[in-house]
């Protein structure tokens, strides 16, 4: 996805004046009848510093922890925005259920990693303050309060959705809603489909308390034996590979009916314990610490991970969910047996393991899901008969996923694997899919005799085990596998293909903002830049040499690399905008990120705001910057877009002394969020957009559309709250996601396309 310094001969470079003062070329050839709507730039604001601010008060605020929001609490607010999409009546019903499921899964992972880490600090007596001035204990207490509210809201949302699902012909039944006929059928299916894979576990002096793995959902029983009247406890873990919901025969009007597996087990309890009377019953679910600590001096990093992955199952309890209606004595017994602390215990009044509700999203109900769409394939590649190398040589291409097909990335590697002129392929792999076509292409290339290097990041959280498997498979095919640094994750998304052309070697490079994962590419908003620019190719080679040979690059021509130059480059670019203010020139920063946490970057943005730089940030998730504070951040706006697609691309734009959007602006895409871990402890890439057409696509089309969104966006207030944007009366609703679905992008179609938008959408709203 890079810009084209060397445009093809069929593109005239005559200065054609476009909106925003840009000069660009016009491509000759057949006239296009399909044109994307033009998205007008936000209203231009003359840069000026805040007036009436007390310098001493500003200086005191810049030294105070109050200038930051707490990272963990900000994440919880993000997950609440996800949950609120489950309450959004504009979404189809199954999609609302999906948002609820995602919010529950997100919260589980948050506890298994972030909360688990804080709890460890509390146990060790650590009192070090976070950047916002809280001790680990204070953070844990505030998280518990916020998370409790979030979980209660999840249960309220589920109860509402359950009613709506029933009205739509998808009924989720409770035990007391079953007929005698239903119970008889359930017993038959239970004995055939469930009973053989269940392992009831009695707990008495002869049977010690069993280990309950991470995320295990179980039904606990208090029982009295018929013979002798002995009391015992028993545990029935829900099997992992059995669906959570069992479907019953259709009900009245053809309604599809489901019942949860835990209810099936309760109905059929006498089949599990035929010689016992039931005294009490309790549902429970365990979450454990899943954060892996790496010994930096580990002699064999791969072997270290294989051991730690097995230990993860036995991590300390970090959350114990218990049925609020359970027998008190039974509940207390399991709390003590699991060694749970008071902060671990969560009483659930409703459905447990809400993340599994997505299993209720069944086929055949297109009325309950988002309309399907077919990702576009770049037309310019078709014009070159599918030859990616020829189309990239002609001009850089930016592919905007999921609106444009991820198959372009796959074809890039497949073509490289099959092309006899390709001599080498270098590839980073952070996350990929099961049966990955990326892995298959790399194996094919190696087996065809090409020099293939795969940089496999085995520290990709929750994907470590899969990545180890891929690494072994690649090595067996002759791929040179490198695992990267022990202390740094390699998070950059780069693919480098070296091809012999007319006796010389030419580099073709792919820089991405997302993972090489064809499944997530269907729902993640990401960017893929394909370029034959030799300077970017050389820099990509230096990045690979840095990771494979630990050879710190002495020079980089175009890109910046974390943890070496990326943060310093960003700081220099921010300071350059401050200098433009002092020169009396326009100064603007636009950025689109997943998270903004790094205190050094935030403080520099504060200084830029105080100088008068106009800063507009789109931060999907965590944001520790406090916008709109008089004297501190008057000129900073922060918005978050949460909707059908997961905003995952990272884009950074600097006005460079011109009004935005401008052809003179400095525009970059990146794999890195602005977090200490990305900037200081990961290998990341910040890639400039050099080609004028791609530049317009990223700045004038993608960024401007995101800044205009008033359907799925939220505004961050200076108190840390988020307010959903409202559309003023008489104005057109504008959804960035819908815009991208309906309008072709520029680089895949040519610079002759015009950008238009509804005329009544007020600029700057």
Instruction: Say how far apart CA 315 and CA 300 lie, in whole Å.
Output: 22
Q: Is 507 in a helix, a strand, or coil?
A: strand
Find where tokens 């004028």 sit: 692
Beta strands of 226-381 (E only): which ranges? 231-237, 245-248, 256-260, 276-288, 317-323, 345-348
Instruction: Say how far apart CA 283 and CA 351 lie, in whole Å.
Output: 10
Query: Residue 453 class from Cβ within 10 Å (0-12 exposed, 13-18 middle, 19+ buried)?
Result: buried
- What are φ and ψ of residue 641, in 5° steps? -110, 120
Q: Is 15 in a helix, a strand, or coil?
A: strand
- Please report which helix (H) or strand (E) contains residue 529, including its range: strand 524-531
Output the CA torsion 84→89→94→96 (10° steps).
Answer: 0
Q: How far is CA 525 from the centre of its chain?
A: 9
Let me know if 480 is a catalytic residue: no
User: What tokens were used for 405?
Assistant: 């097909």
Rg (CA), the chain: 28
Catalytic residue among 91, 400, 491, 737: 491
Identify which of 194, 214, 190, 197 has the alpha carbon closest to the alpha carbon of residue 313: 214
Find where tokens 């892995």 sit: 439
Instruction: Say how far apart CA 596 and CA 590 lie, in whole Å.
Output: 13
Q: How many CB atoms lie within 10 A of CB 176?
A: 6
The DSSP result for 76-90, as a single string, is: HHHHHHHHHHHT-TT
- What lies within 8 Å, CB to CB, of 35 at 6+ separation is 753, 754, 756
CB distance 700 to 754 below 8 Å: no
Check the CA dihedral 453-459-461-463 and report its sign: positive
Q: How many CB atoms lie within 10 A of CB 345?
A: 15
Instruction: Say how far apart CA 181 and CA 178 lie, in whole Å.
Output: 8
List the alpha helices (DSSP H) in 375-454.
379-383, 388-394, 407-418, 437-447
Identify which of 543, 495, 765 has the alpha carbon closest to the alpha carbon of residue 639: 765
- What are φ and ψ of residue 305, in 5° steps? -70, -40
Instruction: Say how far apart CA 642 and CA 647 lie, in whole Å.
Output: 7
Pairing state between β 170-173 and 217-225? unpaired
CB distance 582 to 611 below 8 Å: yes
Check the CA dihedral 240-463-671-428 and report its sign: negative
Instruction: Give the side-chain half-sphere CA count within 13 A for 211.
Output: 9
CB distance 745 to 22 below 8 Å: no
Instruction: Say how far apart CA 718 and CA 606 lie, in whole Å.
Output: 13
Q: Is 259 in a helix, a strand, or coil?
A: strand
Instruction: Say how far apart CA 103 and CA 154 lie, in whole Å.
Output: 8
Greatest distance between any 2 Cα atoms in the chain = 97
Triad 43, 702, 565: Cα angle to 5°:
100
Query: Residue 487 class from Cβ within 10 Å (0-12 exposed, 13-18 middle, 19+ buried)?
Result: exposed
- What lies within 8 Å, CB to CB, of 172 at 6+ separation is 162, 165, 166, 245, 258, 259, 260, 360
User: What tokens were used for 659?
Assistant: 């009004």
Residues serving a catalytic function are: 491
């Amino acid at each position: 996805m890079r810009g084209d310094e060397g445009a093809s001969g069929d593109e005239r470079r005559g200065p054609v004046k476009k909106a925003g003062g840009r000069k660009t070329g016009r491509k000759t050839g057949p006239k296009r009848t399909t044109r994307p709507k033009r998205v007008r730039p936000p209203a231009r604001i003359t840069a000026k510093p805040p007036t009436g601010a007390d310098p001493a008060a500003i200086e005191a605020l810049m030294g105070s922890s109050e200038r930051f929001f707490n990272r963990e609490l900000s994440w919880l607010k993000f997950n609440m925005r996800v949950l609120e999409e489950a309450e959004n009546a504009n979404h189809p019903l199954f999609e609302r259920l999906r948002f609820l499921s995602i919010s529950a899964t997100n919260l589980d992972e948050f506890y298994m990693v972030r909360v688990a880490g804080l709890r460890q600090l509390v146990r060790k007596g650590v009192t070090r303050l976070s950047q916002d001035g809280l001790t680990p204990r204070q953070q844990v207490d505030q998280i518990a309060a916020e998370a409790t509210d979030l979980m209660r809201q999840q249960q309220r949302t589920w109860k509402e959705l359950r009613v709506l699902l029933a009205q739509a012909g998808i009924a989720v039944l409770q035990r007391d809603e079953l007929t005698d006929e239903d119970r008889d059928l359930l017993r038959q299916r239970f004995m055939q489909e469930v009973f053989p894979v269940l392992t009831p576990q009695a707990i008495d002096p002869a049977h010690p308390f069993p280990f309950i793995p991470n995320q295990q959902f179980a039904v606990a029983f208090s029982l009295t034996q018929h013979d002798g009247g002995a009391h015992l406890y028993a545990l029935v873990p829900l099997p992992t590979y059995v669906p959570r919901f069992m479907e019953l025969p259709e009900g009245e009007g053809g309604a599809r009916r489901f019942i949860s597996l835990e209810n099936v087990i309760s109905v059929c309890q006498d089949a599990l314990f035929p010689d016992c009377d039931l005294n009490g019953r309790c549902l429970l679910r365990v979450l454990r610490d899943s954060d892996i600590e790496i010994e930096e001096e580990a002699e064999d990093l791969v072997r270290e991970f294989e051991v730690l992955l097995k230990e993860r199952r036995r991590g300390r309890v970090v959350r114990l969910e218990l049925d609020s209606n359970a027998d008190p004595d039974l509940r207390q017994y399991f709390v003590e047996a699991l060694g749970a602390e008071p902060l671990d215990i969560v009483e659930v009044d409703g459905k447990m393991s809400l993340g599994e509700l997505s299993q209720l999203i069944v086929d055949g109900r297109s009325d309950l899901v988002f309309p399907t769409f077919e990702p576009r394939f770049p037309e310019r590649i078709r014009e070159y008969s599918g030859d990616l190398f020829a189309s990239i040589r002609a001009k850089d291409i930016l592919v905007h996923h999921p609106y444009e097909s991820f198959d372009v990335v796959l074809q890039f590697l497949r073509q490289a694997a099959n092309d006899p002129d390709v001599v080498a392929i270098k590839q980073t792999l952070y996350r990929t899919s099961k049966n990955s076509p990326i892995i298959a292409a790399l194996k094919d290339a190696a087996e065809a005799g090409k020099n293939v290097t795969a940089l496999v990041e085995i520290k990709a959280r929750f994907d470590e085990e899969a990545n180890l498997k891929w690494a072994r498979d690649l090595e067996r095919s002759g791929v040179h596998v490198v695992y990267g640094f022990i202390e740094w994750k390699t998070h950059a998304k780069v693919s480098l293909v070296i091809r012999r052309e007319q006796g010389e070697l030419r580099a073709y490079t792919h820089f991405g903002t997302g993972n090489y994962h064809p499944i997530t590419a269907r729902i993640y908003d990401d960017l893929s830049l394909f370029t034959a620019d030799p300077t970017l190719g050389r820099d990509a080679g230096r990045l690979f040499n840095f990771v494979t040979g630990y050879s710190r690059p002495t020079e980089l021509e175009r890109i910046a690399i974390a943890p070496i130059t990326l943060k310093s480059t960003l700081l220099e670019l921010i300071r350059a905008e401050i200098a433009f203010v002092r020169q009396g020139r326009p100064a603007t920063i636009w950025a689109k990120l997943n998270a903004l946490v790094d205190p050094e970057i935030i403080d520099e943005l504060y200084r830029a705001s105080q100088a008068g730089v106009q800063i507009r940030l789109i931060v999907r998730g965590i944001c520790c910057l406090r916008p709109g504070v008089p004297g501190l951040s008057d000129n900073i706006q922060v918005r978050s877009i949460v909707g059908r697609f997961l905003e995952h691309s990272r884009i950074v734009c600097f006005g460079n002394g011109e009004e935005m959007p401008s052809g003179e602006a400095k525009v970059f895409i990146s794999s890195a969020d602005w977090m200490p871990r990305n900037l200081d402890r990961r290998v990341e890439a910040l890639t400039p957009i050099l080609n004028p057409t791609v530049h317009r696509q990223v700045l004038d089309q993608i960024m401007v559309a995101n800044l205009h969104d008033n359907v799925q966006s939220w505004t961050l207030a200076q108190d840390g709250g988020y307010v959903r944007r409202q559309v003023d009366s008489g104005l057109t609703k504008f959804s960035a996601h819908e815009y991208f679905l309906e309008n072709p992008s520029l680089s895949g179609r040519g610079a002759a396309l015009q950008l238009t938008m509804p005329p009544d959408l007020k600029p700057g709203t």
